[in-house]
Structure 1
Amino acid sequence: MSPHVLPALVLILVFAIALARPVSIGIVALVAAFVVGTVFAGESAEEIAAGFPGGLFVTLVGVTYLFAIARANGCVDWLVHNTVRLVRGRPAAVPWVFFALAAVLTSIGAVSPATVAVLFPIAMNLAAVYRISPLLIGLVTNLGATAGSFSPLGIFGIIVNGVMDAEEMGAAPLALYAATFLGATVVALVTVLLLGRRRPPGADARAEAGRDGDPPVAVSARPIVLDAERVTTLSGVVVLVVGSLVFGLDIGFLAVTVAGALAVLFPAAAKGAVDQVSWGVVLLVGGLVTYVELLERTGTISWLGTGVTAIGSPLPAALLICLIGAVVSAFASTTGMLSALIPLAVPLISTGQVGALGLMIALSLSSSLVDVSPFSTNGALALANAPEGERDRVYRGLLLFGTVMIVAAPLLSWLVFVVPGGV
């Protein structure tokens, strides 16, 4: 038996344990790295710890810390309130308003589950007033969060681009963002066309509540003023975007710098923001990447990738990787799957018969469009915020949509982004 079999089986065991028990994949992966590294690879603790992604740690902490401050000082509330006002009594606009809100927030660094957790209570309330399907609102808001998550500042984008850089694949942050945003938007459009006409009894009467141009009473709130602190925060986000995209400054350290400046200038809002950093995501990514780095050093990743390519043509192998990402992400962490699967694609890409960017786009869409599954965090949040009388319908809808995406997302993204670049 190959010496690489056991480390590969341990990787599967890591995901299995995290699915079966309420424990972070990151913790389990760190334990696996220690056990496999010391017992089977003969590495010291220092060598194992060297695989921890320090640069990615700074980026994740900096971006989520900045967003935590923006949420604490009311910038997020201001954005949500003013965007909701754009509805102005037009029910058809409601899903797209929350798609745009979720996309904007995740594009500037908000974690997808945190974004939908903020938006779902407002979205479901507004949907009840306008008698819009809560399933539609839940799906489209989730798809908006997916659309923005692959921006150069988004959590998924940071992970994919970081791994591509580490593997010298030639990362293209803007192309990845544009393609995944377009993919999620197309799926959202199809969803609206299929579900947008569902109008339960009493819709016309209830919708009149908002036809005077202001948000209905159920979702109205006192106007939020753009004071000096909020203007400074928004300016800081602009600095982050321009500095990283135009001048090529490191996103992580620039985000920490902006957030640190805001904390010094406005300490009241920044108090407690560190506690709101997505430490769970940081731990998950850090632990899993540490173990994957160990697998790379011991040659297991190359062995696995060679096994995938051995099925025949590189194109079917690429489809298989995308299918694996979709199936597992529907029940587990998309963040973890992206961190684990991208290195597996390296041997496939090294054949020169599959384009690196096309496969990364397909893998990204395959692993993220299934986040609407009721077994994922985002899907569960949509279900939890749905009206009690609609929860069974929403559950069945999320389950059906997630099942369809498990098959459709890998197949369509493979056809559109991988096959044209294949040899």
Structure 2
Amino acid sequence: MDGRFNVGLCVVVCFVFGGRQLLGQCAPTHTGGTGSAGPAPGGEQDDGPPGGQLVEAGGTSGPALAIAKNTATATADTPPVRLDGPRTLTLLGLLSLVGGALFFDLDVGLMALSITVVLSLVSPKSAKGAVERCAWSTVLLVCGIVTYVSQMERMGTIDYLGKEVASIQAPLVGALLICLIGAVVSAFASTTGMLGALIPLAVPFLLDGQVGAVGLITALAISASVVDASPFSTSGALVTANTPEEQRDFVFRRLTAWGLGIAVVAPLVTWGLFVVPGSL
């Protein structure tokens, strides 16, 4: 059920954020890099689209079209990437990072910094300029948000809110508030951590039998996970950091609108779809 909900949500997001403009448009076509098409009938030269640009259908244009044109041109001009020594060491470093975190329970941050230092020492030429290109504003934003939420959890703020909600006599209202708290807090913190903290607080509603266990847990899981695209969360921050600088502000504003909006809409929709029918 949650898989179908996510598929439907993806379709809605696609059309809300400009996917409609891409319908009916052709794929990028290359003309061999000459920048012009062949002679037109009658011996006249037909000025076609330059190599790597997008041929439009229906004369439409927009931001998505401009991005597609730039991407096609950059793809045509970029030389093929080869697996040289620094790239091989980088891949080995990534595998070491994943293996150390999964199988040896090593600290991810310390391992990442250690691998970065080793790569910089082994190949300083390839690492030149990496520090300047790092999105430090995004790094500081995520660190600040994580520190703030961790402090709230340490002070017991999340537990306090959950216990107050659990004391509500109306199970349906309490279930809605738990989903809302999970969505809002998860937009700034770990989704897994929020589920581990909020699911035990929903046990009183489940014991009364007035709220279905499967429906409530499904609604809570979806509400807490669909907000991960928020730029204040780790996933959304990584997307923002890897966006080209000229588009970064645009992406940040769109992800902020999406994250804050879905933090309110998702609990209401999932509550109505999964919790309410199970209590009737």
Give the structure-2-normalised TM-score.
0.55
Figure out how many residues of one structure are paired with residues of the other and give that number. Answer: 183
CA RMSD of aligned residues (A): 3.7
* Contact 1:326 1:406 survives alignment (8 Å): yes
What residue is the counterpart of 2:121 in the other structure?
none
Partner letter of residue 376 of structure 1?
S
> What are structure 1's unaligned runs of at least 5 residues?
1-178, 224-267, 296-300
* Contact 1:321 1:341 survives alignment (8 Å): yes
The answer on 1:188 being equivalent to 2:45 is no
Partner letter of residue 274 of structure 1?
G
Q: CA deviation at 1:220?
A: 6.4
Q: CA deviation at 1:314?
A: 0.6
Matches within 5 A, 1:184-333: 184-195=6-17, 196=19, 197=21, 199-200=63-64, 202=66, 205-206=69-70, 218=78, 273-277=98-102, 307-333=164-190
User: 1:395 and 1:305, CA in 2 relative to 1: closer, same or farther beyond 3 A?
Assistant: closer
User: 1:220 and 1:350, CA in 2 relative to 1: closer, same or farther beyond 3 A?
Assistant: farther
The answer on 1:405 being equivalent to 2:262 is yes
Separation (CA, whole Å) in 1 of partners of 2:198 and 2:241: 30
* Contact 1:326 1:366 survives alignment (8 Å): yes
- Most deviating of 268-277 and 337-346: 268-277
Residue identity over aligned pairs, in percent, reads 44
Separation (CA, whole Å) in 2 of partners of 1:349 and 1:413: 17
Compare relative contact order (CA 8 Å, sep 6+) and give the higher one, 1 or 2. Answer: 1
Separation (CA, whole Å) in 2 of partners of 1:219 and 1:315: 59
* Contact 1:305 1:348 survives alignment (8 Å): no
* Contact 1:305 1:346 survives alignment (8 Å): no
What residue is the counterpart of 2:217 in the other structure?
360
What residue is the counterpart of 1:240 in the other structure?
none
Partner letter of residue 207 of structure 2?
S
Separation (CA, whole Å) in 2 of partners of 1:317 and 1:219: 58
- SS of the counterpart of 1:345? helix
Could you tell me which of 189, 202, 208 is aligned with 1:351? 208
* Contact 1:330 1:371 survives alignment (8 Å): yes
User: 1:199 and 1:269, CA in 2 relative to 1: closer, same or farther beyond 3 A?
Assistant: closer
Q: CA deviation at 1:280?
A: 6.0
Matches within 5 A, 1:91-130: none
Q: CA deviation at 1:310?
A: 3.5
User: 1:375 and 1:336, CA in 2 relative to 1: closer, same or farther beyond 3 A?
Assistant: same
* Contact 1:323 1:407 survives alignment (8 Å): yes
Q: Which runs of 4+ in 1 moved over 6 A?
A: 303-306
Separation (CA, whole Å) in 1 of partners of 2:266 and 2:232: 17
Separation (CA, whole Å) in 1 of partners of 2:205 and 2:68: 55
* Contact 1:306 1:347 survives alignment (8 Å): no
Q: CA deviation at 1:359?
A: 0.4
Partner letter of residue 239 of structure 2?
A
Partner letter of residue 100 of structure 2?
D
Q: CA deviation at 1:182?
A: 2.2
Q: CA deviation at 1:335?
A: 1.6
Q: CA deviation at 1:270?
A: 6.9
Separation (CA, whole Å) in 2 of partners of 1:220 and 1:422: 59
Larger Rg: 2
The answer on 1:339 being equivalent to 2:196 is yes
What residue is the counterpart of 1:378 in the other structure?
235
Q: CA deviation at 1:180?
A: 2.7
Partner letter of residue 99 of structure 2?
V
Separation (CA, whole Å) in 2 of partners of 1:400 and 1:415: 23
* Contact 1:306 1:348 survives alignment (8 Å): no
> What are structure 2's unaligned runs of at least 5 residues?
22-61, 84-92, 109-145
Q: CA deviation at 1:187?
A: 1.7
Give the structure-1-normalised TM-score.
0.38
User: 1:398 and 1:186, CA in 2 relative to 1: closer, same or farther beyond 3 A?
Assistant: same
Q: CA deviation at 1:341?
A: 0.5
* Contact 1:362 1:417 survives alignment (8 Å): yes
What residue is the counterpart of 2:273 in the other structure?
416
Q: CA deviation at 1:337?
A: 0.4
User: 1:404 and 1:306, CA in 2 relative to 1: closer, same or farther beyond 3 A?
Assistant: closer
